[in-house]
Amino acid sequence: MHTDTSESIIRTIHDFIEEERRHNFCFLGKHAHRFMGHRDLLIVSLATCDDIRAALGHSGDVHPQEYTQDWYTFEEPKGNNPIHTVAIALTHGENLRIENLAICIPRRKPEPCFIRADAWLRETYNWDDEWDMRFTKMQYEKQQAWWKNNGQSFRIFDLPQELRDAVYLQMVGPVVLPDTHHGRVVIGKGLSYGSAERLGRNRDADIDRANMTVMRLEMSAAAYFASINIVPGHNDPFASQVGAFELRNLTRFPALRNLDFRFISPKHPGALCPWAKADGTSVHGAHACQKIWIDWLFTLAWRTLRTLGASHPVRYTLSGCVKTSTKLLWERLLNDAHTDQTVDMQAEEAMIRATHGPGECKCTTRCSRKEAGEGRVCVFTEYEIKAIDGLEQHVDDMYWRFED
């Protein structure tokens, strides 16, 4: 071919490279997506005799006379990819367009193999992600760099509403929270969080929100009484002290409709009696009678629970290690909206506060380990519970069952 024709072919291929780069994310995208010009992506030039000899020798071709076209080399400036040396023929007359250029690949057969130039370029230089989107953050960065430099715009408002929503979800994410951690707080604008590590800031969108209409409390006796601000001290069995959790704060949950009080056995490793803790006998397994302290708890918490029920309808239930008679009594009293028991409860509370703590346990099987003459509670591993037949039922009966 003439030199002018060769230069025109090179210019046509370079134009195709830059145009394809703007519209095809995978084309020449292996090393970086911020380069858009052919000088940084793929350089085409006339091949030297050594290049042609190397290409023919590598293919084992024995018919070099079949190739009457000019030879060209394709070289990527970025990376260490091999140089491709091919012959290029102009087909369909003299109309110099990328569709009319054919790549001639050296091969062992006598006949040359012709492929359309645009198809060969896409097949050879389209980048397949070998990591298959394992590093999504890196993929997003590459996509952003490509959009920033390709000079194109995406007409998102031309899409249907459901597709736009999918794009927004991908771009913004499922959770949107104000972030002023690194910015300046302006009075009257925005919202500032105190801790960047707080739960709401990092909530996993794949985890369903908690059902705040149903709530269960499961605490030791000491924690239950602390929730109504009773923390017994030395010579003061009903000392008032604000606990870490206050039962009255449940009025701030307007969606709450079902509240369950679950009780653990006094023999449970996590059981802690507030009066035994005050006199230092809890370490020896001492604990108030389960029936007595539960009755005391609801009597002393009566006003708090009635206030909670008045703010919005709440159904109360008792579960766990609680006697059936106690469960039936307090579920009836707490859920009875027609009879006001406040006067009776005030009288009961006065009698309770006149004592020096729960009296002696009258249960057939004593509640505390100390009174039952039991030693240290044996803690079984999860493997032992699953491996030993009947052990799980035994542990459940020990910690949760409490018959009259």
Q: How many residues does the chain have?
A: 404
* Backbone torsion region of residue 217, taken as left when φ is above 0, otherwise alpha when ψ lies between -120 and 50, otherwise beta: beta
Other Cβ atoms within 10 Å of 394 Cβ, number: 12
Q: What pLDDT, on the 0 to 100 scale, is given for residue 92?
A: 65
pLDDT per position as a tens digit, 107-150: 655 566 778 888 888 888 887 665 555 556 667 777 777 777 77
Kindly state the percentage of the chain with pLDDT values over 70: 73
Q: What pLDDT, on the 0 to 100 scale, is given for residue 63?
A: 47
Q: What pLDDT, on the 0 to 100 scale, is given for residue 184?
A: 59
Task: Flag the least confident range among 32-41, 92-101, 268-277.
Answer: 32-41
Q: Is the pLDDT of residue 62 over 50?
A: no
Residue 285 in contact with residue 369, Cβ under 8 Å?
yes
Q: What pLDDT, on the 0 to 100 scale, is given for residue 200?
A: 53
Residue 43: burial class (beta carbons within 10 Å; 0-12, 13-18, 19+): middle
pLDDT per position as a tens digit, 317-330: 999 888 888 999 99
Q: What pLDDT, on the 0 to 100 scale, is given for residue 305?
A: 92
pLDDT per position as a tens digit, 14-51: 888 888 887 787 777 776 666 777 677 788 888 888 88
Q: What is the pTM of this model?
A: 0.48
Residue 258: burial class (beta carbons within 10 Å; 0-12, 13-18, 19+): middle
Q: Is the pLDDT of residue 57 over 80?
A: no
**Domain positions in the chain:** 3-125, 214-400
Q: What are the percentages of helix, strand and coil residues in the chain, rounded to 5?
A: 40, 15, 45
Backbone phi and psi for residue 116, each to the nearest 5 degrees, phi listed first:
-55, 140
Q: What pLDDT, on the 0 to 100 scale, is given for residue 404?
A: 45
pLDDT per position as a tens digit, 168-211: 888 777 776 665 555 555 555 555 555 555 555 555 666 666 77
| Cα 390 to Cα 356: distance, rounded to the nearest angstrom | 41
Distances (CA, A) of 390 to 175, 378, 395: 46, 16, 9
Residue 8 in contact with residue 95, Cβ under 8 Å?
no
Backbone phi and psi for residue 284, each to the nearest 5 degrees, phi listed first:
-95, 10
Residue 276: burial class (beta carbons within 10 Å; 0-12, 13-18, 19+): buried
| Cα 160 to Cα 166: distance, rounded to the nearest angstrom | 10
Helices (H), 239-335: 274-279, 290-300, 302-311, 324-335
At 53, is the pLDDT very low, low, confident or very high (cuts 50, 70, 90)?
Answer: confident
